[in-house]
Amino acid sequence: MPRGDRMSAATETERAAGEEGLAAYRFILTVLAYAVPFVFILLPLILFLIQSFYYVEDGNIVHQLTLRNYERFFAGRGFVPVFFNTILLCLGVAAITVLFGYPIAYLLASLRGRRKYVMMVVFVVPLMMSYIIKIYAIRAILGGNGFLNRILLYLGVVDEPLTFLIFNLKAVLVTLSIILLPFAVLPIFIALERIPRSVVDASADLGASAFQSFRDIVWPLSVQGTIVGATFVFVLALGDFITPQMVGGMSGFTFGRIIYSQFGFAFNWPFGAALSVILLVVVLVAIVGTGLITRARHQL
Amino acid sequence: MTEQPKTLVELSGVAKVYGGVEVLHAIDLALRDGEFMTVLGPSGSGKTTVLRLIGGLVQPTRGKVLLDGRDISAMPINRRPFNTVFQDYALFPHMTVEANVGYGLKVRGESRARIRDRVIETLRLVALEEFAGRYPSQLSGGQQQRVALARAIICEPRLILLDEPLGALDAELRRQMQRFLKNLQREIRTTFLFVTHDQEEAVTMADRICVMNHGRIEQIGSPEEVYYRPVNEYVARFFGDNNLIDVALGEAGEEDRELVSDVGSFRCRLEGRSAVGAATRDSPGKLLVRPEAVVIGEAANGMRNRMKVRVEETGFVGPVSQVTVSAAAKPELRIMVKLPSRAGGIPLAVGDETEIGWSDRECHVVTA
């Protein structure tokens, strides 16, 4: 056998060994890719789901499956109205953020070159900032002795500090809208960015006015991103319990706070779990619904 | 005498500055009503800017755009009676073919019934009537191209602007579309302004070619004019593989002129601009001989102009065979010869000493 052939046979074996190693490596990666979300996301959710069918007696969890937590939610006074009010509140937050977020995203997308990305950073920085700091900042603005009241007093618009600015559901609505605004802006911005400039040029070229171009081309091509942004905000607002707690006061009671109190004060974990499962169902419906709406429309 | 065709659109002293860089230097260009003009140039030559200026996507920094003699420089894009076929087609992805094609009529407020009729009619013209209900993403590149075309012609514009529309298509489809476009233009009798960087495409399609370079127009003329009688070396080189020999002017004969070079002297009949340009004695210039006008071997015997050469390279490129030779008197001077291919191959081998020749009618002189 010529030497060259032996050499290639040797490298062949090496390559085979290498491929085997690669296959093993790939296998491990695949297992990890599935295992991590399973162990850290799905498993806790399943445990939670099971927990929601237990109940508490004399401060101890009874490991026996029952529907009494769910019955309590539907039959008990107070839970269902708070639940629906919370959903309405979060829909309101989603509507406000989209209403303000769309023009902002449009402005960002229409900027050219470096200015666009500088402005983007200006919008993304608050996203990175601690959530708690933002809430305190808003409290400092809206509070009885806050910035807004001081200005109003100074200008003589009011004689006494306004008290309806904070510690109610409206304050929760405003605060959540401010905090979650970037989550609406980003998906809308991305959707607008994806519209090729030539497509908008083409509609003008065909005789469309600026308004017609927007109505027929830009809006239909960015509505998906807008829906995604709204869903983002809705889901995040729904799960929030810190904001209502800090700016909601006694009247700003939300479903998130009820859940929190079951874990934090009442120590009724199974009931808290049941309420969480109910909330989760709403979130899933919102996400799946969004998926269906956006998929039904034609993809770019 | 033929009637002078009417000028449709005119650029008069139009310059365009982008971010401090002048990409177009005061050009003048007149488009005749009903003609197929191609604007040809490499990227960065300003050819797309010309198209965008006419279409209304950009405004001139200086100068005027005229339509039927009226200044339309300030007219917004959506009011100009021109339509564009964009390089990337720019179809509306969320609309069916039918809605795409009908869009120009819809924004004008035409009735639904009329839009439908016109769309069907126009789709038939581009052989896409079966595809009315499809979305752009469900079509091939060539089909998308024709949708873009249909969308532009349905508005019955005075002028159709095409921005390298065939760039993304493969060679065969490209040739098909070239023929199709040419026929379509004859059929609908609309003026076409076609921007391309492909000289072959420009030559095969155009009534007139406008050759651009570095934001200037080098030459405007029929394909034959720019091909056989380029005004300068740039245009001569742009139309592929031209042989250029440095020459000085010698004695003028009765019908021809002597051209003196360091590989011998040649006699050429110079016509038109070439003769005028070469009028000054001793002015430096370049003799231009097209590769397909050069004969090699025994065929060179009967020719007025001859040169001893050595074969350097032979190559087969389908219908023609290319032979590169070097001048015996000056080996660094390379001459390209194109011969019709024959099944038996060409009877030449690298290293052969032979002779080339060309007729005194196949010469053209450009100023260097």
Mean pLDDT of chain A: 88
**Does pLDDT of A127 surpass 50?**
yes
Q: In this structure, are B212 and B115 located in the same domain?
A: yes
Q: In this structure, are B133 and B58 located in the same domain?
A: yes
- Which of B180, B210, B233 represents a domain boundary (last residue)? B233
Q: In this structure, are B263 and B217 located in the same domain?
A: no
pLDDT tens-digit series, residues B98-157: 999 999 999 999 999 999 999 999 999 999 999 999 999 999 988 999 999 999 999 999
Q: In this structure, are A132 and A185 located in the same domain?
A: yes
**Nearest-5° angle of CA B292, CA B295, CA B297?**
150
User: Of the ranges A4-18, B21-35, B156-170, which one carries the lowest mean pLDDT score?
Assistant: A4-18
Q: Please indicate, yes or no, if residue B1 is contained in any of the structural domains.
A: no
Q: In this structure, are A35 and A169 located in the same domain?
A: no
Q: Please indicate, yes or no, if residue B2 is contained in any of the structural domains.
A: no
Average pLDDT estimate for A128-137: 85
Q: State the best of B107, B134, B154 to mutate against chain A, taking most chain A CBs within 10 Å.
A: B107
Q: Look up the CATH number of the domain holding residue B305.
A: 2.40.50.140
Domain that holds residue B292: 241-367
- pTM for this predicted structure: 0.81
- Which of B211, B233, B255 represents a domain boundary (last residue)? B233
Q: Look up the CATH number of the domain holding residue A111.
A: 1.10.3720.10
Q: In this structure, are B58 and B189 located in the same domain?
A: yes
Q: In this structure, are A85 and A131 located in the same domain?
A: yes
Q: Look up the CATH number of the domain holding residue B66.
A: 3.40.50.300
Residues of chain B found within 8 Å of residue A205, distances taken between Cβ atoms: 55-57, 77-78, 82-84
Q: Please indicate, yes or no, if residue A85 is contained in any of the structural domains.
A: yes
d(CA B335, CA B288): 11
DSSP classification of residue A201: H
Question: B78 and A209: CB-CB below 8 Å?
Answer: yes
Average pLDDT estimate for B320-344: 90
Residues of chain A found within 8 Å of residue B162, distances taken between Cβ atoms: none
Domain that holds residue A98: 77-296
d(CA B249, CA B257): 8
Q: In this structure, are B67 and B116 located in the same domain?
A: yes
Q: Please indicate, yes or no, if residue A243 is contained in any of the structural domains.
A: yes
* Amino acid letter for position B34: G
In the stretch 195-254 of chain A, residues with CB closer than 8 A to chain B read 196, 198-199, 201-209, 212, 216-217, 220-221
Q: How many CB atoms lie within 10 A of CB B274?
A: 24
Q: How confident is the model at residue B276 (pLDDT cuts 50, 70, 90)?
A: very low
Query: Which ipTM was obtained for this model?
Result: 0.83
**Does pLDDT of A7 surpass 80?**
no
Residues of chain B found within 8 Å of residue A207, distances taken between Cβ atoms: 78-79, 104, 107-108, 155
Number of folded domains that form chain A:
2
Q: How confident is the model at residue B212 (pLDDT cuts 50, 70, 90)?
A: very high
CB-hemisphere CA count at 13 Å for B17? 6
Q: Please indicate, yes or no, if residue B149 is contained in any of the structural domains.
A: yes
Q: Please indicate, yes or no, if residue A63 is contained in any of the structural domains.
A: no
Q: In this structure, are B14 and B98 located in the same domain?
A: yes
Q: In this structure, are B296 and B188 located in the same domain?
A: no
Q: Please indicate, yes or no, if residue B284 is contained in any of the structural domains.
A: yes
Among A155-164, B46-55, B301-310, the range of highest mean pLDDT: B46-55
Residues of chain A found within 8 Å of residue B104, distances taken between Cβ atoms: 206-207
pLDDT tens-digit series, residues A231-252: 999 999 998 999 998 888 888 8
Provide the percentage of residues in chain A whose pLDDT is more than 70.
Answer: 93
Question: B104 and A300: CB-CB below 8 Å?
Answer: no
Q: In this structure, are A93 and A199 located in the same domain?
A: yes
d(CA A210, CA B295): 62
d(CA B21, CA A213): 31
- Is B291 in contact with B323 (CB distance < 8 Å)? no
Residues of chain A found within 8 Å of residue B81, distances taken between Cβ atoms: none
**Does pLDDT of A4 surpass 50?**
no
Q: Distance from CA of residue A192 to its chain's centroid?
A: 20
Question: A208 and B103: CB-CB below 8 Å?
Answer: yes
Number of folded domains that form chain B:
2
Q: If DSSP states are collapsed to H, E and C, what string results for chain B?
A: CCCCCCEEEEEEEEEEEECCEEEEEEEEEEEECCCEEEEECCCCCCHHHHHHHHHCCCCCCEEEEEECCEECCCCCHHHCCEEEECCCCCCCCCCCHHHHHHHHHHCCCCCHHHHHHHHHHHHHHCCCHHHCCCCHHHCCHHHHHHHHHHHHHCCCCCEEEEECCCCCCCHHHHHHHHHHHHHHHHHHCCEEEEEECCHHHHHHHCCEEEEEECCEEEEEECHHHHHHCCCEHHHHHHCCCCEEEEEEEEEECCCCEEEEEECEEEEECCCHHHHHHCCCCCCCEEEEECHHHCEEHHHHHHCCEEEEEEEEEEEEECCEEEEEEEECCEEEEEEEEEEECCCCCCCCCCCCEEEEEECCCCCEEEEC
Provide the percentage of residues in chain B whose pLDDT is more than 90.
Answer: 61
Q: In this structure, are A275 and A138 located in the same domain?
A: yes
- Which of B171, B206, B233 represents a domain boundary (last residue)? B233
Residues of chain A found within 8 Å of residue B75, distances taken between Cβ atoms: none
Question: B78 and A216: CB-CB below 8 Å?
Answer: no
d(CA B361, CA A225): 67
Q: In this structure, are A94 and A32 located in the same domain?
A: no
Q: In this structure, are A112 and A24 located in the same domain?
A: no
Q: How confident is the model at residue B1 (pLDDT cuts 50, 70, 90)?
A: very low
What's the Cα-to-Cα distance from B192 to each of B36, B176, B278, rounded to whole Å? 5, 17, 35
Question: Which of B78, B88, B92 has its CB closest to that of A204?
Answer: B78
Q: Please indicate, yes or no, if residue A54 is contained in any of the structural domains.
A: no
Which tokens go with A72? 């309590």
Question: Which of B76, B94, B104 has its CB closest to that of A220?
Answer: B94
Q: Please indicate, yes or no, if residue A231 is contained in any of the structural domains.
A: yes
Q: In this structure, are B159 and B98 located in the same domain?
A: yes
The C-alpha torsion from B119 through B120 and B122 to B127, rounded to 10°, is 140
Question: Which of B56, B86, B135 has its CB closest to that of A202?
Answer: B86
Q: In this structure, are A109 and A202 located in the same domain?
A: yes
Average pLDDT estimate for A56-60: 85
Q: In this structure, are B207 and B324 located in the same domain?
A: no
- Burial code (b: 16+ CB inside 10 Å, e: under 16) for A7-38 equals eeeeeeeeeeeeeeeeeeeeeeeeeeeeeeee
Q: How far is A226 from chain B (nearest CA, A)?
A: 16
Q: Please indicate, yes or no, if residue A71 is contained in any of the structural domains.
A: no
Q: How far is B225 from chain A (nearest CA, A)?
A: 33
Q: In this structure, are B199 and B77 located in the same domain?
A: yes
Q: In this structure, are B175 and B274 located in the same domain?
A: no
d(CA B252, CA B269): 10
Q: In this structure, are B78 and B107 located in the same domain?
A: yes
- Is A54 in contact with A63 (CB distance < 8 Å)? yes
Question: Which of B76, B88, B103 has its CB closest to that of A198?
Answer: B88
Q: Please indicate, yes or no, if residue A131 is contained in any of the structural domains.
A: yes
Q: State the best of A197, A198, A205 to mutate against chain B, taking most chain B CBs within 10 Å.
A: A205
Q: Please indicate, yes or no, if residue A258 is contained in any of the structural domains.
A: yes
Q: Distance from CA of residue B272 to its chain's centroid?
A: 21
Question: A199 and B135: CB-CB below 8 Å?
Answer: no
Q: How confident is the model at residue A1 (pLDDT cuts 50, 70, 90)?
A: very low
